[in-house]
Amino acid sequence: MKKPTIGVLALQGAVREHLAMLERTGARGVALKYPSELHLCSGLIIPGGESTTIGKLMIACGFLEEVRELVGQGMPVYGTCAGLIMLASRLIEGDQPLLGLMDITARRNAYGRQVDSFEADLVLKGIEDPGRPFRAVFIRAPWIEETGPGVEVLGEHGGRVVMARQDGMLVSAFHPELTGDDRIHRYFLRMLEGAEMAERAPGTGG
């Protein structure tokens, strides 16, 4: 069976860790530095980092509109931490470029500064072995303040939404790539498989 190719936006942030996790799951990870490389991939990960910097670099390098178009056409995308912010349609505070694709409102640095980073055990919907807590790493993490009607909440911490899905878009406020637990990346791979099956399915007509 052919390995799926998943691009990791390589402008800034935890790129290498996501690539290693993808290889561990049996997928092929590719560091993306040019928009033309997006068409080689069946899915995209936007990693954690500094969301304002990532947004500005996406504009400067021509990624912003290209990602909007491909995700709008059905390419699955997973945003972690800063990637969550980039996919959000609304921010509580701040003014920065956003993809604006997911019907969520994000609060930047909701858990505090770098020194306030922490780990927590989460119960997450949809992942393999859901009864086993996921040890999540939060670093200057956002949270999701509000979700639209089409958004499925997959995980919470302290009453705040920290993982969610809308159609082919997945976000987490924490960094699964910094753990030894690949269940969220495997969940994303299943999203890709579902998208490919839907694309191959014959139309029903109208």
Identify the three-state secondary structure at position 145: strand
Catalytic residue among 175, 185, 193, 199: 175
Active site residue 41: no
Domain that holds residue 52: 5-200
Q: Is the pLDDT of residue 9 over 70?
A: yes
Q: Can you tell me the mean pLDDT for 39-67?
A: 95
In a domain, 46, yes or no: yes
Catalytic residue among 17, 41, 177, 185: 177
- pLDDT value at residue 124: 98
Alpha helices in the chain (DSSP H): 15-25, 51-60, 63-72, 82-87, 183-200
In a domain, 85, yes or no: yes
Active site residue 145: no
Tally of domains in the chain:
1
Q: Is the pLDDT of residue 103 over 60?
A: yes
Q: Is the pLDDT of residue 190 over 80?
A: yes
Q: Which two tokens stand for residue 189?
A: 């791979």
pTM score, two decimals? 0.93
In a domain, 127, yes or no: yes
In angstroms, the CA 188 to CA 157 distance is: 21
- Residue 102 pLDDT grade (very low, low, confident, very high; cuts 50, 70, 90): very high
In a domain, 206, yes or no: no
Look at the block and give the residue holding tokens 């947004």.
55
In a domain, 15, yes or no: yes
Give the CATH number for residue 178: 3.40.50.880
Percent pLDDT > 90 in the chain is 84
In a domain, 205, yes or no: no
Q: Which two tokens stand for residue 122?
A: 């989460």
**Residue among 73, 27, 29, 8 nearest 187 (CA):** 27
- Which residues are CB-neighbours of 175 under 8 A, at least 6 positions away? 14, 17, 48, 80, 81, 136, 137, 138, 139
Q: In whole numbers, what is the pLDDT of the chain averaged over residues?
A: 93
In angstroms, the CA 97 to CA 53 distance is: 9
In a domain, 106, yes or no: yes
Segment 124-156, tens digit of pLDDT: 999 999 999 999 999 999 999 999 999 999 999
With beta carbons less than 8 A apart as the criterion, state whether 40 and 5 touch: yes
- Give the Å distances, CA to CA, from 198 to 4, 69, 185, 193, 202: 16, 18, 20, 9, 8
Catalytic residue among 17, 41, 81, 157: 81
Active site residue 175: yes
In a domain, 116, yes or no: yes
Q: Is the pLDDT of residue 50 over 50?
A: yes
- pLDDT value at residue 163: 98
